[in-house]
Structure 1
Amino acid sequence: MPLPRALLLDLDDTILDAHRNPDEAWIGVCREFAARVGAPSPEALHTAVLQSRDWFWADAERSRRGRLAMEGTRREIVRLALGRLDLPYSPAAEAMADRFTELRHKAIKLFPDATDTLQRLKDSGVRLGLLTNGNSAYQRGKIARFGLEPFFDHIQIEEEFGVGKPDERAFRNALSLLDAEPKDAWMVGDNLEADILGAQQVGIHAIWMDADRAGLPDGTGVRPDRIIGSLSELLS
């Protein structure tokens, strides 16, 4: 398949290995802080955290607000978890949430083929757009940390633009600035609703990044136009 005129890419878990396997970090944090926050056991604390996390992110509006203030969101998840255990929120609880944020930030890394693929796409004349949801400072920090800005003709962050994926305005604005029509563009991302369904609703060829190669989750009604396990597959 020939390359498109324009290619929109998600950032986290598409270019950066950022949010996969968070349970490992939570397990370590719960072991470190269980006694300090008064939890009956690290296991009980971990279970409460996961229940609170899943509840928080299940709602679209909470998710939108939460991703614009991730540090505060993680503190809120810990507060909710402690509430499930009838425990008060305390300075130790805040330190627990911040420790998780610290560990997750340190764990972020580029996927091995990311920068080489971006360079080859750019050298091929494809107009590249980075389309990411979230907080401006947090996302800009990652872009700078990994030297990604030079690869892109347009970078669009939810907080800066005012709306994020899957809102069609986010996709249409990015394509307009890349001088491309939906039929001449691809979108690559790991989120089936925000990246894939959002792109398909405006007529963009939507490619799902399945870095774990786990396949589509049971029960999803979203059907990507293509599934890849690494960015380099875009070149084949």
Structure 2
Amino acid sequence: MNKFAIFDLDDTLVDSAGAVDRWFIELAEQRNLGADGLQFLRAEQQRPVTPRESFQSIVDRFGFTESPDELRSIFLERVPRLSRAFDGVVHSLGELRARGWRTALLTNGTALDQQPKMRDGMADLFDVVCFADDEATRKPDPEVFRLVAGRAGAGLDGAWMVGDSLEYDIAGGAAVGMSTIWVSGGRTPRDGEPVPTRVVTSVAEAFPLLLAEG
């Protein structure tokens, strides 16, 4: 048994989507946008447009003095600090390590963007932390998975990848021989999407699966 697990960060270990909504609430309160304004912000998040188009829409709607790029900078600075680990994550990571598991964090994004999300000692619970945008390649490229395993002194065959993205986490992990746990959040895979080894609704359900395997 290969007791090595790689974890994604955003919406796997940390509630990043919730942090975005907390920023919307904060922004609406600070600028007196009201309930309708908050509803607009939440709807804008769901629109299939680029981030710049979305921030342009927000600036235009409310007449903010910031440019879209300036508002996006505020967003990028504030949202990581509003992120929170899901309940039990820090304890469960510690339990894995106490049971002899090696653990790694592999997240797309830079250290500057991602480190503020890793509070309450979370960063100390990994043998390796890899911010892929600071490396030569990012998920789902197999090379970044091999990079992380090499730094951890672990093999990938029979190891586990845990993440919320079928494209980046599940497909990437499977491509290098890992077993995979998809944190679905209640979603259902569409035809043609990668098929995970296991499916859980929340990451809290993933830890008992790993412990049972180990």
TM range (shorter): 0.7 to 0.9
> Using a 3 Å threshold, how does the CA distance of structure 1 residues 44 and 9 change in structure 2: closer, same or farther?
closer
Q: Is 1:201 aligned to residue 195 of structure 2?
A: no
Q: What corresponds to 2:133 in structure 1?
A: 159
Q: Contact 1:26/1:100 (CA < 8 Å) preserved in 2?
A: no
Identity percentage over the alignment?
27
> Using a 3 Å threshold, how does the CA distance of structure 1 residues 219 and 43 change in structure 2: closer, same or farther?
farther
Give the C-alpha shift of residue 207 in structure 1.
Answer: 0.8
Q: Contact 1:79/1:89 (CA < 8 Å) preserved in 2?
A: no
Q: What corresponds to 1:175 in structure 2?
A: 149
Q: Contact 1:29/1:99 (CA < 8 Å) preserved in 2?
A: no
Q: What corresponds to 2:44 in structure 1?
A: 49
Quick one: distance in 2 between partners of 1:124 and 1:135? 30
> Using a 3 Å threshold, how does the CA distance of structure 1 residues 24 and 168 change in structure 2: closer, same or farther?
same
Give the C-alpha shift of residue 142 in structure 1.
Answer: 2.5
Q: Which secondary structure state, in structure 1, belongs to the residue aligned with residue 87 of structure 2?
A: coil
Quick one: distance in 1 between partners of 2:69 and 2:31? 10
**One-letter code of the match for 2:98?**
D
User: Which of 165, 188, 194 is the equivalent residue of 1:222?
Assistant: 194
Q: Contact 1:168/1:198 (CA < 8 Å) preserved in 2?
A: yes
**One-letter code of the match for 1:215?**
R
Quick one: distance in 1 between partners of 2:15 and 2:9? 9
Quick one: distance in 2 between partners of 1:44 and 1:108? 21
> Using a 3 Å threshold, how does the CA distance of structure 1 residues 172 and 99 change in structure 2: closer, same or farther?
closer
**TM-score normalised to the size of structure 1?**
0.70
Give me the CA root mean square deviation.
Answer: 3.3
Give the C-alpha shift of residue 127 in structure 1.
Answer: 1.3
**One-letter code of the match for 1:177?**
R
> Using a 3 Å threshold, how does the CA distance of structure 1 residues 200 and 33 change in structure 2: closer, same or farther?
same
Q: What corresponds to 1:133 in structure 2?
A: 108
Residues 31-86 of structure 1 show CA distances to partners (whole Å, capped at 9, x for unaligned) of: 86597xxxxx738954873365x222xxxxxxxxxxxxxxxx5x663125557x7x
Quick one: distance in 2 between partners of 1:47 and 1:129? 33
Unaligned 5+ residue runs, structure 1?
36-40, 57-72
**One-letter code of the match for 1:8?**
I
Q: How many residues align?
A: 206
Residues 121-166 of structure 1 show CA distances to partners (whole Å, capped at 9, x for unaligned) of: 11111111111110221212323x3322221111111122221110
> Using a 3 Å threshold, how does the CA distance of structure 1 residues 21 and 140 change in structure 2: closer, same or farther?
closer
Q: Contact 2:8/2:105 (CA < 8 Å) preserved in 1?
A: yes
Give the C-alpha shift of residue 24 in structure 1.
Answer: 6.8
Residues 81-102 of structure 1 show CA distances to partners (whole Å, capped at 9, x for unaligned) of: 557x7x9874276675466556
**One-letter code of the match for 1:227?**
V
Give the C-alpha shift of residue 219 in structure 1.
Answer: 4.3
> Using a 3 Å threshold, how does the CA distance of structure 1 residues 82 and 194 change in structure 2: closer, same or farther?
same
> Using a 3 Å threshold, how does the CA distance of structure 1 residues 5 and 235 change in structure 2: closer, same or farther?
closer
Quick one: distance in 1 between partners of 2:6 and 2:68? 39
Q: What corresponds to 1:62 in structure 2?
A: none
> Using a 3 Å threshold, how does the CA distance of structure 1 residues 197 and 159 change in structure 2: closer, same or farther?
same
Residues 181-232 of structure 1 show CA distances to partners (whole Å, capped at 9, x for unaligned) of: 321311111111100011111111111113x3x1324445221111122243
> Using a 3 Å threshold, how does the CA distance of structure 1 residues 176 and 110 change in structure 2: closer, same or farther?
same
Q: Contact 2:55/2:68 (CA < 8 Å) preserved in 1?
A: yes
**TM-score normalised to the size of structure 2?**
0.77
Q: What corresponds to 1:118 in structure 2?
A: 93
